[in-house]
Amino acid sequence: MVNLLDFDVDGLVAWFAERGEKPFRARQVMRWMHREGCDDFERMTDVAKSLRAKLALDACIRAPEPLRDSLSADGTRKWLLDVGNGNAVETVFIPETGRGTLCVSSQAGCALDCAFCSTGKQGFNRNLTAGEIIGQLWLANRLLGAAREASPDLEAGEKDNGRIISNVVMMGMGEPLANFDNVVTALRLMLDDHAYGLSRRRVTVSTSGIVPAMDRLRDECPVALAVSLHASNDALRDRLVPINQKYPLAELMAACRRYLERAPRDFVTFEYVMLDGVNDQDVHARELLALVRDVPCKFNLIPFNPFPNSGFRRSPAERIRRFAGILIDAGIVTTTRKTRGDDVDAACGQLAGQVQDKTRRTVRIVKPMEARP
């Protein structure tokens, strides 16, 4: 059974061509699948009946099954998704005024083993397929759409633009550039007008700095780029982000500059997790200023989100303010990421895809999963 979620538009056109079907048919099916969230060929009413019957025989439209749906007190919603063989990944929806961001996973686990990351601590299980990656957006759209239809108190405008998810960040579990082909197929769908039609500026890939893959992304599918920096010198970064031993800071900065030649935005976002007493001193901030001198950038400081036995503590708020102040005084736009959804372990670095129930704090299951009529 071929899962049609695995194809981008060109891929689906080619698959249709092998079966003697015209390109416009592929695009029709594409729109039903991604714009309408339809997984039933019979409901694709403007597609020829004979083709619908043929598709039903050897194709399906299948996203990962949700195992758990948790709603944080701040409105952040997290889904735990079954990707088979006891593996699960997480997807997080973060509503904000004027936009809704979906944080998408690219791998079950991660091989890169950053010292402060709970996904890294669980090791690497496998790459997600393109269908499992885009399936997260497909599913979130469906589930959020269903919730929206069920709540009459939303503004009319919010209801009919159909765009609850305006931004996607590849910041869930896994290193997206270590699963390059499948991630790019999914990115193409996010951008394609026949599918989700998101602007390149609103789709962000976050990488720990796999330099050759950054160059490929620039050439094949440039979207907004976030780089997980986390340290101001190689000695410290070698420890915190081990991939630095392979692609050290000078090479990473050069790759950022090359990326910006083709990027939809004219800056790179550097993510910097604030670890108490480790990378959060004034001297680190000043070292950063020298490091990024030639790279147009913004900084996003992420207060460390703890998990059991991490061995790190979050920097105190006052320390983060001072650190940010040094960057801001030097003219670098610097924001501190609000911790969202940490009551349901949905905050950055807390995604572990746990299937067993821990002793939960404020989790409540929103409602049993149900297909939309």
Known binding residues are 110, 114, 117, 174-175, 206, 228-230, 305
Residue 169: C-alpha distances to residues 64, 91, 166, 195 (Å) = 19, 10, 10, 17
Binding-site entries for [4Fe-4S] cluster: 110, 114, 117
Residue 174 found at the interface with ligand SF4 (CB under 6 A): yes
**Which residue reads 């995604």 in tokens?**
351
Residue 112 CB: number of other CB atoms within 10 A?
A: 21
Please report which helix (H) or strand (E) contains residue 169, including its range: strand 167-170
Would you state the structure tokens that stand for residue 149, as one six-digit string? 């239809």
Q: DSSP letters along 226-242, please?
A: EEE---SSHHHHHHHSG
For residue 103, the cross-strand partners are 92, 169
Residue 302 found at the interface with ligand SF4 (CB under 6 A): no
In whole angstroms, give the CA distance from residue 56 to residue 1: 10
Please report which helix (H) or strand (E) contains residue 109, including its range: strand 107-109
Q: What is the CA radius of gyration of the chain?
A: 21
Closer to ligand SAH at the Cβ: 76 or 206? 206
Taking the complex as a whole, the smallest distance from the CB of residue 116 to ligand SF4 amounts, in Å, to 8
- The listed partner (ligand SAH, ligand SF4, none) that binds 113, CB under 5 to 8 Å by sort, is ligand SF4
Q: Give the residue closest to ligand SF4 by C-beta.
A: 120
Which of 21, 69, 175, 342 forms a contact with ligand SF4 (CB under 6 A)?
Answer: 175
Residue 316 CB: number of other CB atoms within 10 A?
A: 13
Active site annotation includes 90: yes
CA proximity to 303, closest of 315, 295, 294: 315
Catalytic residue among 38, 103, 297, 348: 348
Closer to ligand SF4 at the Cβ: 32 or 116? 116
Active site annotation includes 348: yes
**Which residue reads 């390149």 in tokens?**
200
Residue 229 found at the interface with ligand SF4 (CB under 6 A): no
Per-residue mark of binding to ligand SF4, 61-100 (x: CB under 6 A): ----------------------------------------
Taking the complex as a whole, the smallest distance from the CB of residue 106 to ligand SAH amounts, in Å, to 8
- The listed partner (ligand SF4, ligand SAH, none) that binds 334, CB under 5 to 8 Å by sort, is none
- The listed partner (ligand SAH, ligand SF4, none) that binds 302, CB under 5 to 8 Å by sort, is ligand SAH
- The listed partner (ligand SAH, ligand SF4, none) that binds 171, CB under 5 to 8 Å by sort, is ligand SAH
Part of the chain binding ligand SAH (CB under 6 A), chosen from 30-38, 57-65, 297-305, 320-328? 297-305
Which of 208, 232, 244, 315 forms a contact with ligand SAH (CB under 6 A)?
Answer: 208
Taking the complex as a whole, the smallest distance from the CB of residue 127 to ligand SF4 amounts, in Å, to 13
For residue 298, the cross-strand partners are 269
Residue 209 found at the interface with ligand SF4 (CB under 6 A): no
In whole angstroms, give the CA distance from residue 93 to residue 191: 19
Mutual angle of helices 9-18 and 23-30, in 10-degree steps: 130
- The listed partner (ligand SAH, ligand SF4, none) that binds 348, CB under 5 to 8 Å by sort, is ligand SAH
Closer to ligand SF4 at the Cβ: 95 or 242? 242
For residue 2, the cross-strand partners are 59
Residue 349 found at the interface with ligand SAH (CB under 6 A): yes
In whole angstroms, give the CA distance from residue 100 to residue 164: 6
Please report which helix (H) or strand (E) contains residue 159, including its range: helix 156-160
In whole angstroms, give the CA distance from residue 16 to residue 9: 11
Residues 6+ apart with CB under 8 A from 275: 116, 240, 304, 312, 313, 314, 315
Catalytic residue among 90, 103, 256, 271: 90
Residue numbers of the site for ligand SF4 (CB under 6 A)? 110, 112-114, 117, 119-120, 174-175, 208, 228
Q: Applying CB under 6 A, which residues contact ligand SAH? A: 114, 116-117, 171, 175, 206-208, 228, 271, 273, 302, 304-305, 348-349
> Which residues are known to be catalytic?
90, 348
